[in-house]
Structure 1
Amino acid sequence: MAATPNPSATVTAAPTAGATNTGPLVIVTILFFMWGLLTSLNDVLIPHLKAIYTLNYLQAMLVQFCFFGAYFIVSLPAGALIRRLGYQKGAVTGLLIAAGGCGLFYPAAQGGYGLFLFAFFVLAAGITILQVAANPYVTVLGPAATASSRLTLTQAFNSLGTTVGPALGGMLILAGASALTADQVAALDAAGQAAHRAHEAATVQGPYLALAAALAILAALFALARLPRIDHAAADDTVAASAGSALQYRHLVLGAVAIFLYVGGEVSIGSFLVNFLGEPNVAGMTAARAASYVSVYWGGALIGRFIGFAVMRVVSPGKALACNAVAAIVLVLCAILGHGQAAMWAILAVGLCNSIMFPTIFSMALHGLGRHTGQGSGILCMAIVGGAIVPFAQGWLADHVGVQPSFFIPVACYGFILFFGLKYANLHRQGATTA
């Protein structure tokens, strides 16, 4: 899953004599891994909760609506919190809030779907604070010229988390679920249905309590770690005093739309994968088996980001983005129009195309903003709310036309990303473009 850009001011690391960046970068990379794992577990829980509470697709997508809606609501307050506490204490706060969100899954198993949605929101709020605190370290722990490449590398470990998450969830949550079909559950009396629902919901309690404990331990270790102090450059006042705003740059505005649609398309595909692979004309898989293939989807992004770490040093960002968008469009269309193994592997291969999109769009959108870079980062951060809106739209379409045709929503998302990549293919040579 894509990492959130920092919405606060430009930052610099206070130099420490004899210090190296390797240790701090490893610590921050662990955080990237953890929030990737937590985010991708949603792809396992959505079909699980859908079956437990007999939801339609639109209702099931409320999980992503609450989760990614937190990015939009919490990002700006998180920036203010980080400015008050500092980056290291802010990361600890984010970890503890995320641990609390995981802990809420235990009572949610008895409290119903609404409490699950609240737990998702609290968990995502913690992750948002964590990301806002952690990202500046990636940008300053090395030369500025290779910041985008370094961000791609750390996001590779974020992708490792998203790869591990679904497989882990499949083993710990879906493997313990009942094998009863929806018709068999419907045939039970009221008491039997209630007992079945309680049993199925309880399968999430143990794994999420373990995650809560892991996050709390990580918070303690992070609090004790010796990280370089990061100071705000005196950019906030400069930005506020300078003429105009980041929104005057057309490539930033279009980049924010591209981030919105990229995150939305990526999350939407992951959210529907288990159900897509369960379609009789695709693979007819059980949810537990399909969960392992969700890891293949996210694993493609992992592989692609390691490749992108090297390729993006020599290839034009816009051209690389456009090529990946074309490949994604072709693959999703094959998944929509095809069937069987061809459709299955086509949709899974989209993960490889997603790999470089976020860091590439992010760096292109902020190119040449100068004093407005901090404000532009905040705008891009809020655009991640696409992960809440686009799956919701696909859920509505799936309820009306079916799961397979609903994937035209991601096709439209990648279509705009293709346009953005082609329009600004040579942005690094042309400079910033104002509206």
Structure 2
Amino acid sequence: MNQQKQNGNVIAIVTMFFLFAMISFVTNLAAPFGTIWKNQYAGANTLGMMGNMMNFLAYLFMGIPAGNMLVKIGYKKTALTAIAVGFIGLLIQYLSSLFGADTDVFALGEYAIKLNFIIYLLGAFVCGFSVCMLNTVVNPMLNLLGGGGNKGNQLIQTGGALNSLSGTLTPLFVGVLIGTVTPNTAMSDVAPLLFIAMGVFAFTFIVISFVSIPEPHMRKKGETVKEEKFSHSPWNFRHTVLGVFCIFVYVGIEIGIPGTLNFYLADPTERGAGLLTDGAAIGGAIAAIYWLLMLVGRLTSSIISGKVSSRTQLIVASATAIIFILIAIFTPKEVTISMPGYSADNGFQMASVPLSALFLVLCGLCTSVMWGGIFNLAVEGLGKYTAQASGIFMMMVVGGGIFPLLQQFISDSLGYMPSYWLIIAMLAYLLYYGLIGCKNVNKDIPVD
């Protein structure tokens, strides 16, 4: 019996690893897909980032309800619901490649918004609900399957590594499929990726349906739980309130840096001399390096975190990222460097890109450690209010949609590199939080 249970746990763990990877895969589809849509709307970066915006907007509506689902229907049913919703979201995105391209819905300034674009945005929004639920499920489920403690944490770290690896491969695959973006490039060109994602979701749904998952926190049928009334809330802690906004800002930084870089390298009017013609493929390959460096940063942080505090890591990472982006902004685009790229004719090879791209990619090492550092500092000393704060943090992931959209609005008006001044301002806030804002000045509030 024990052997059978152990085998079931192994299957469940592997399945959770797949879901961890799918979270990053589905999320990171939005930015490279945006290069297709922005080209169809005459280079409008703001419209190109709308899919990303819709994906993250879902967190604002689903953050707290997803946590409630764990209590009411359990981890397994919540995971199955999330997978089904994700499958539907991907299917809707695929449908945007089949019809609606010739149907105008409404005018937005100089642009006539097509029905296929609206369908795509709906699919991105539905996928956002799925990813939010999966984020709520996967971490605690892996911890449970590992039995908690060091083993549970080890499984979460392994899942996080797969999440980063998936984030690395997604923009690369999209770039390879679409190569050079032309007015004829459409969602149908990336349909294979959508089919792969739907296939993995369908397979995972079937596997989880037959796997037993522990449900220690689900309320039993007929059970009534008296809700404890708290005299305060996370909003009464200054360092938590500042930390909530910090998470809001951080996710915008993490998504905005590679997202705008992808657009920049895919734009034939902005590339430095000597850059290969397959701009979308190159942009995808180089954006992939950013996510790969995030993987390296996370692994490094897991090694040094026992000796280096979260506060120190956040301060150093924020200050270093500011320096990298300042260099990127002030380096002329004519100054180039060779980085791994892709050509439809010659496959993978070294490509000449603006030196600015290198420093933007290096920011992946910095952003990799920020989420954990901010979260740890923001919940320090919260005690019984920590669970409430966690739901609020999940809602604030919506910043990954709002700030990149704002950055694209700036890039439409002023250019790609000037738009990174917004990122510097956001990083400056993270630096302030690490230096001053993270201090708990409300220790008089009882938390036991």
Aligned to 1:132: 136
Q: Match of 2:122, SS?
A: helix
Which residue is equivalent to 1:261? 249
Q: Could you say which residue in structure 2 is the equivalent of 1:322?
A: 315
Q: Note if 1:65 corresponds to 2:56.
A: no
Moved over 3 A (4+): 15-27, 138-154, 236-240, 281-285, 424-427, 430-435
Q: Which residue of 1 aligns with 2:378?
A: 365
- Write the distance in 2 (CA, Å) between the matches of 1:391 and 1:261: 10
Q: CA deviation at 1:367?
A: 1.9
Distance 1:266 1:293, change over 3 A: same
- Decide whether the 8 Å contact of 1:294 with 1:348 is kept in 2: yes
Q: 1:144 to 1:363 in 2, by over 3 A?
A: farther
| Pairwise CA RMSD | 3.0
Report whether the alignment pairs 1:121 with 2:125: yes
Partner of 2:93: 105
Aligned ranges for residues 389-404 of structure 1 at < 5 Å?
A: 389-404=402-417
CA drift of 1:320 comes to 1.0
DSSP-derived class of the 1:204 partner: helix
The answer to whether the Cα contact below 8 Å between 2:31 and 2:49 also exists between their aligned partners in 1 is: no
The structure showing larger relative contact order (alpha-carbon pairs under 8 Å, at least 6 residues apart) is: 1
Which digits, 9 at most, give the CA deviation of each residue in 1:222-266, with x for residues without a partner?
2222333332599x9687412111111111111111111110111
Paired-residue identity, %: 26
Unaligned runs of 5+ in 2: 101-115, 338-354
Q: Report SS of the residue matched to 2:217.
A: strand
1:434 Cα offset (Å): 6.0
Q: Say if 2:331 is the partner of 1:311.
A: no
Q: Unpaired runs of 5+ in structure 1?
A: 1-14, 186-195
Moved more, 108-117 or 220-229: 220-229
Q: Which has the higher strand share?
A: 2
Inter-partner Cα distance in structure 2 for 1:283 and 1:72 = 43
Residue 44 of structure 2 aligns with which residue? 56
Would you say 1:332 and 2:322 are equivalent positions?
no
Counterpart Cα distance in 2 of 1:240 and 1:334: 52
- 388-397 or 236-245, which deviates more: 236-245
Per the alignment, residue 166 of structure 1 pairs with 171
Give how far 1:26 is off: 4.0
Q: CA deviation at 1:129?
A: 1.4
Indicate if the aligned counterparts of 1:91 and 1:133 stay in contact, CA closer than 8 A.
yes
What are the within-5 Å matches in structure 2 for residues 132-211 of structure 1?
132-140=136-144, 141-143=146-148, 151-172=156-177, 174-175=178-179, 180=182, 196=184, 200-211=186-197
Corresponding position: 1:411 with 2:404: no
Shift of 1:150: 6.4
Work out whether residues 74 and 218 of structure 2, in 8 Å CA contact, stay in contact via their aligned partners in 1.
no
Q: Which is worse superposed, 256-265 or 219-228?
A: 219-228
**Structure 1: how far apart are the matches of 2:275 and 2:170?**
22
| Aligned residue number for residue 10 of structure 1 | none
**Given that residues 36 and 48 in structure 2 are in contact (C-alpha distance below 8 angstroms), is that contact kept between their aligned partners in structure 1?**
no
Deviation at 1:146, TM superposition (A): 8.8
**C-alpha distance in 1, partners of 2:227/2:437?**
25
Give the distance between the partners of 1:201 and 1:149, measured in 2 at CA.
38
Q: Aligned residue for 2:280?
A: 287
Given the superposition, is the C-alpha separation of residues 202 and 143 from structure 1 closer, same or farther in structure 2, using an over 3 Å criterion? closer
Spell out, residue by residue over 1:45-96, the C-alpha distance to the aligned partner (whole angstroms, 9 max, x if none): 1112111233512222211211100111122232233322211111111011
**Cα separation, partners in 2 of 1:150 and 1:202, compared to 1, 3 Å:** closer
